[in-house]
Amino acid sequence: MKSISNKLLVLILTIGVFGILNTEMGIVGVIPYAAERFGVSVPDAGLLVSLFALIVAFAGPTMPLIFSKMNRKAVMLLALGVFSVCNVAAVFAPTFEVLLAARVIPAAFHPLYVSMAMAVAQQTGDTAAERARNSSQVFVGVSAGMVVGAPIAGVLASSVGFSAAMAFFALVTMVALVMTTMLVPSMPVAQGLSYGKQLAVLKKPVFLVSLLAAAAVNAGMFGFYSYLSDYLGNAEFAAGAVSTLLLVYGLANIVGNTVAGRTLGSVPRKTMLAAPVILVILYLALFAAGGVAVATAALLVALGVAVGFANTTDQYMVSRAALEAPDFANGLFLTATNLGTTVGTTVCGGLISAGGTGLSVLGAVPCVVAGFAAVLARIACEKRAGADAEMESAAA
C-alpha cells in the first residue's frame, strides 16, 4: 500500500474541502450574472444558494452515517467525482433548471466529504496538539471556500463570463479528485461502529450543548456576514473597496483558523470561552464606529480573524464531544451551523427591516451571547462527566 505523509494528506483534504465549500458559497458572487444569463429574477437565482444549503442541512446527519463503514478513500472519490461532474455540467447548462439540478445533486454529498475530511484530520498526528493543528488546517479550506471563492468567481464572471466562474468551481474539485486518486492510499475503516452506537452520542449532554453552542455562534457570525456587503455599501465604501474588504476579511478568517489550531492544542477551554467574548466585543465596537471608514475597515479585519478563530473552535467543541463517532458528529455539526445561519440571517434581516442596514451588526450580539451561555454549559457538562468517570473508576 502506498504511504503518504501526514502533511500531504492534510493538504489534499484541505484542497478538497475548499473545492466543496467553493462550489457552495462561491455562487454568491455570481447570482446577478446567473439571473441575467438565464432570464430569471435575482430572488429566483438565489435558489442556487438556499436550496443547496437546505439539502446540506438534511444530508448532514444521514449521509455520514450511511457511509460510515465505507473505505474513506472511496468516499472521497465518490463525493469529489459527483461534484466534478455536476460542476462541469453547470458550465454548459442550457437552462436555469439544469443549472439548479447541477447544484442540488452534489449538495447531498457535501456533508459526506467535509465531515469525513474533518474526522481524518482529527485522527492524523501523534499528539493532541498536532491533531488540533491538522484539523485547523482543513478548516482553512472551509474558510477559504466560504469567503474567498465568491470574490474570485465574481471577478471571473464580470471579466470573462458566467461559465468561467462555473469552470473555476469544476477545476478545483477536479484537481482534488486527481490528487486523491493518485496519492491517497486505501483507507478502510478498521472497526465500523454500528448505527446504534453512533446515534448514541445524541444521548450525551456535552455533545448536545456543543451543537447548540456552534449553532448559536454561527448564527451571529454568518447572520451578519450575509449582509456585510450591503453594510459596507451603506457605510459609503466604493464598490471596489467593498470587494477588497470582503477578500481581506476572508484571508483574515484563515489567520484565525491557524491561531485557534495552536491554542486549542494547549488551552482548549480558555479558547472556547474567549471566542464568543471577542466576537461580542468586536460587534459592539463595529456598531459604535458608526460607519467611520478607517475604524470600520480596521475592525472588520479583526473581526475576520475572530470569526476564523471561532469557526475552528466550534468544530473542535463538537468533535471532541463525540470522539467515538467522528463522521456522524461532524455531519451534525454541519447541520447545526447551516440551521444557525438561517436563524441568524432572519434575526439580522428583521433588524434591517426595522431600522436599516446599520442595525444588522447588533443582530449578531444576542446570538453570540446565547452561544457563550451554551459554551459555559458545555464546560460544566464536561467537568461533570469527568467527575463521574473518576468516581466509577474509584469504585471499580
Scored b (16 or more CB within 10 A) or e, 291-325 reads: beeeebbebbebbbbbbbbbbbbbbbbbbbbbeeb
Neighbours of 182 (CB within 10 A): 9
Phi and psi angles of residue 98, each rounded to the nearest 5 degrees, phi first: -65, -40
Which part of the chain is CATH 1.20.1250.20? 1-190, 193-396
**For residues 77 and 101, what is the distance between their CA atoms, to the nearest angstrom?**
21
Task: Look at residues 46, 247, 57, 242 and name the one whose alpha carbon lies nearest to residue 143.
Answer: 247
- CATH fold, domain 193-396, is Growth Hormone; Chain: A; (1.20.1250)
Position 137 scores a pLDDT of: 84
| Locus of grid cell 477551554 | 269
Tens digit of pLDDT at every position of the chain (396 positions): 355 788 899 999 999 999 999 998 888 778 878 888 999 887 788 788 778 888 888 888 889 888 888 899 999 999 999 999 999 999 999 999 999 999 999 999 999 999 888 888 878 887 877 887 888 788 788 878 877 787 788 788 888 989 999 999 999 999 999 999 999 888 887 766 677 778 888 889 999 999 999 999 999 998 888 778 778 878 888 867 877 887 888 889 889 988 998 898 889 999 999 999 999 999 999 999 987 889 999 999 999 999 999 998 998 999 889 888 887 888 888 889 888 887 888 888 888 888 887 888 999 999 999 999 999 999 999 888 765 544 445 444
- CATH fold, domain 1-190, is Growth Hormone; Chain: A; (1.20.1250)
Angle at 382 between CA 380 and CA 385, to 5 degrees: 110
